[in-house]
Amino acid sequence: MNRFGIHYAYWGDQWEVDMCERVRLAADAGFDVLEVTPPAYMTNLEKDKMDQLKKCAQDHGIEMSFCIGFPRSKDMASSDLETRKAGIEHSKRMIEAVHYMGGKILSGILYSWWPYLYEKPLTIQDKLDCWKRGVESVQEVIPLAEDYGITYAIEMVNRFEQFVVNNVEEGKRFCQEIGSPNAKLLLDVFHANIEEDSIPDAIRSAGPLLAHIHISENNRRLPGTGKNIPWEEIAKALKEIDFQGRIVLEPFVAAGGPVGNDLRIWRNLDGDVSKEARHKNLKRSLKFVRELMG
Ligand code: MN
């Protein structure tokens, strides 16, 4: 039975939020999982706050999954040695925080930085160099993930947001080069819709390497609101590979604020983006995906 999750930032426009409130909202909407970007305090291991959040999640029967795009200052693929070292340390602290919180998966752009800014022209050689350094950096941190039994899932994102790992074919190769059973893949339907020939085929190709999935419509709206994404075929492909990971909704529907800006949401995608409307629409979307994939 697949577990269904929702990204914590869905309801608002801020990355910094009262996480326990989001736990309550996720539980109220009927989710099993809240996807959390480990906030700054987690990296500092401020245990009181972490304990509170852990208890809040337990009280509401919510599992937390963890996802993050590393900031530029912690780019594990950087040509600058100090930046790379900072990224490696950051990644280790994240793994420790996830372990402390009882989490089983850390996913995202855990090999470079996000959202990438194309400030100067890049070449294929830049990509190859970053790829190599990214693999080597992950190899330094993944033993810790192995020790804790935490899956380290590489998110493949579209070419406009990153350039190192864009599709499943590259993701598989990246994992192979890392060479750890804990190195797996996060496929995000929004990104795959841009990079793959066929999303269902990409899911089949990822097979047992697929640990985690993000779902939204092609424009980041809630699943079930659009007509471009082949949801039924995606559900079929997930069944075919006996996908046991978490299915996490990652919709973003409103312009503005740190969330809208980072996600490049430049117009409201829903008519009513009040918190109440978002919550109501979310319940409808969860019903849609549960009926299809549950
Ligand atoms: Mn994603």
What's 279's domain CATH number?
A: 3.20.20.150
| Environment of ion ligand 1 (residues, CB < 5 A) | 188, 214, 250
Q: What is the DSSP letter of 102?
A: T
Share of the chain above pLDDT 70, in %: 98
Say if residue 97 is exposed, middle or buried (CB neighbours under 10 Å; 0-12, 13-18, 19+).
buried
Residue 240 is a catalytic residue: no
What's the pLDDT tens digit per position in 185-220?
Answer: 999 999 999 999 999 999 999 999 999 999 999 999
CA dist 238 and 292 (Å) reads 11
> Looking at the 3D structure of the chain, how many domains does it have?
1
Structural domain for 240, as ranges: 3-293
Please pick, among 63, 155, 196, 217, the residue that the annotation labels catalytic: 155
The torsion region of residue 261 among left (phi > 0), alpha (psi -120 to 50) and beta comes to alpha
What's the pLDDT tens digit per position in 65-109?
Answer: 999 999 999 999 999 999 999 999 999 999 999 999 999 999 999
Residue 155 is a catalytic residue: yes
In which band, very low, low, confident or very high, does the pLDDT at 46 lie, cut at 50, 70 and 90? confident
How much is the pTM? 0.97
